[in-house]
Structure 1
Amino acid sequence: MCGGAVNEAPGGLIVETGIQATGFNQLHCDGGPQESDEAAIAAAERHFGSSGSWRIVSEGPSVAAEAFATRHGVERQPLYPVMAMPLAGSMPPPKTPLVLSTADDIAGLRLFVDCAGAGYRMDPALLKPLATNAALAEGDLRFHLGRLHGRCVAVSVSVRSGDTVGVYFVAVRRGFRRRGFATAVTWHAIHAGANPGAGTAVLQATPAGYPVYARMGFTRITDYWLWDLPGLHPRP
């Protein structure tokens, strides 16, 4: 959609999205022995180059990733739990003053990009590749908006896959938080993105989002270990 690619590497999978920001370009380690992670990390370093920004993702502790990050003065990110919730019998969406919708044109995608950038303290220009007709054509991928008095103040993304709907990129503008807006746009992503008969919603929680999702009924099923590597340069 944004000109990215997925490449297999010994011991892992290199994911490049076409968005030049650290969390969007990743190495997923297979979780094998240390030498397997070392080979995967070396392949990712060659792929992204010394000036590229990328992230190592592992489903458990990785001695190789920790050592590589330490050499470059990078600390591991907090654990990012993967959470799931059965849709049958789940709580109804909350009442909210937000006007909730799903982007169906470029103007809507531009609103998403602007709000997501503000919510994550990210230059919206980095997310500009999302505001394309190619994004609108992805039937299983939807961008959701929450407006208050006409202004987009909360966003989310849903991805449909079989009987599961994944929720991603939940963001709320600063100054509009602690009003239940994150809960509202998460519920909208689940119900607007689910296939008929979908049975499960899944997401990956930030430390700040974890209590929100736990109150909604999501439970922790595993953890991701993350190391963000923004533009590596050899240390003296």
Structure 2
Amino acid sequence: MCAAVDPVGGDDLCAVGDRNVETAVEHFGRYGDGAVATRRAGTLLVASRTDFAGAFHNTALRVSPDTAPGQVLDEARAFGAAHDRDIVLWVATHRDQDLAKEARASGFELRSTAPGMALRTPPPAPAVPADVELIRVTDCADSEAFAAVHRDVFANAGRPAEAVDHFASPDALLAPNVTAVLARVNGTPASCAMLIRTGPTAGIYWVATTPTTRNRGLGTLVTTAVARLAFDHGAETVILQATELGAPVYHRIGFTNFTTYDRFLLPRPVRSASQRRDAAEETDVLQ
């Protein structure tokens, strides 16, 4: 069920939150270096250039709730086979219980759970430390600095640094519906966040702080800054999906849980020769 942030509009909040997630998944599929994005049978499917099994990299998302769960899984598995990728299946707990049941019955692993959170009023302006410069990402150099923060984080976590190109390319960060911010400490990129707008809703994504500059409140700083920019540009609601590490930070800012998103891992099947040919000749890429 969808829990309302306030007494009015709980179901609407889930709907706009889902729409923003859908837009974000599609956005990175459009602008990720070498990525493929397509829609089949009410399912949004994305394959990244890398085989990193991230929630936004190699992904299946049911966008039509009336699509049968078995059909969603069939499309996701076929897409994973065609592109030789493990696929992360998104399941919104307020609407996709049938899909979750089918995924579990098929033996798929629950990879992660992320609370969906929302904010309806601008947070107070953050205090910026004297050695910190907070800027908006406005050009390719800023985009590269944003990506550098994430490459540091990915490398520290043992993840492939090249996977950052899926979401932190200049095209992804400088798109008209995107606003991104970057914090530098003594001139060095240290923390960042981005938001993607869908009408009166803005979603915050890819909040990160380099390992050497953590525990200074920089994650709070960039999240608050980008949320305020969203409201400045007319947003009525700001949403995000929180990691376990980030959830306490977002609660302190004022975000409140309204749902949960589960992510199941669908391992790649063995591809046939014809499936490999189909992947090479993919034509239904979203333009």
Q: Shared fold (TM-score greater than 0.5)? A: yes
- Is contact 2:203-2:239 (8 Å) kept? yes
- Match among 51, 68, 76 for residue 36 of structure 1: 68
Structure-2 residue corresponding to 1:49: 81
Structure-1 residue corresponding to 2:91: 58
Q: How does 1:105-116 map to 2 (within 5 A)?
A: 105-116=139-150
Counterparts in 2 of 1:134 and 1:83: CA distance versus 1, 3 Å: same
Structure-1 residue corresponding to 2:160: 123
Q: In structure 1, how many angstroms separate the alpha carbons of the residues matched to 2:146 and 2:173?
A: 12
- Aligned residue for 1:78, secondary structure, equals strand
- Aligned residue for 2:206, secondary structure, equals strand
1:92 aligns with 2:118: no
Quote how far apart the aligned CAs of 1:12 are.
Answer: 3.1
Counterparts in 2 of 1:131 and 1:177: CA distance versus 1, 3 Å: closer
Q: String of CA shifts for 1:190-232, please: whole Å, max 9, x gaps.
A: 2334453322211110111111101110000100011134x53
Quote how far apart the aligned CAs of 1:28 are.
Answer: 1.4
Structure-2 residue corresponding to 1:80: 114
- Match among 14, 20, 45 for residue 14 of structure 1: 45
Q: String of CA shifts for 1:144-171, please: whole Å, max 9, x gaps.
A: 2111111111111111222222110001
Counterparts in 2 of 1:179 and 1:223: CA distance versus 1, 3 Å: same
Q: In structure 2, how many angstroms separate the alpha carbons of the residues matched to 1:19 and 1:162?
A: 31
* Percent identity (aligned): 24
Quote how far apart the aligned CAs of 1:19 are.
Answer: 5.9
1:146 aligns with 2:166: no
- Is contact 1:19-1:127 (8 Å) kept? no
Structure-1 residue corresponding to 2:106: 68
Q: String of CA shifts for 1:127-183, please: whole Å, max 9, x gaps.
A: 235565533551111332111111111111111222222110001111322211110
User: What is the aligned length?
Assistant: 227
Q: In structure 2, how many angstroms separate the alpha carbons of the residues matched to 1:66 and 1:118?
A: 35
Counterparts in 2 of 1:83 and 1:114: CA distance versus 1, 3 Å: same
Counterparts in 2 of 1:8 and 1:128: CA distance versus 1, 3 Å: closer
- Is contact 2:77-2:269 (8 Å) kept? no
- Is contact 2:89-2:263 (8 Å) kept? yes
For 1:68, give the aligned amino acid: S
Structure-2 residue corresponding to 1:232: 268
Quote how far apart the aligned CAs of 1:68 are.
Answer: 3.4
For 1:201, give the aligned amino acid: V
- Is contact 1:30-1:37 (8 Å) kept? no
What stretches of structure 2 of length at least 5 have no aligned partner? Answer: 1-30, 271-287
Counterparts in 2 of 1:76 and 1:4: CA distance versus 1, 3 Å: same
Structure-1 residue corresponding to 2:210: 173
Structure-1 residue corresponding to 2:253: 216
Q: In structure 2, how many angstroms separate the alpha carbons of the residues matched to 1:211 and 1:49?
A: 38
More strand by share: 1
Q: String of CA shifts for 1:29-88, please: whole Å, max 9, x gaps.
A: 36868x922221111111121731321001124122123344xxxx31332011001125
Q: In structure 1, how many angstroms separate the alpha carbons of the residues matched to 2:117 and 2:51?
A: 27
What stretches of structure 1 of length at least 5 have no aligned partner? Answer: none
Counterparts in 2 of 1:64 and 1:110: CA distance versus 1, 3 Å: same
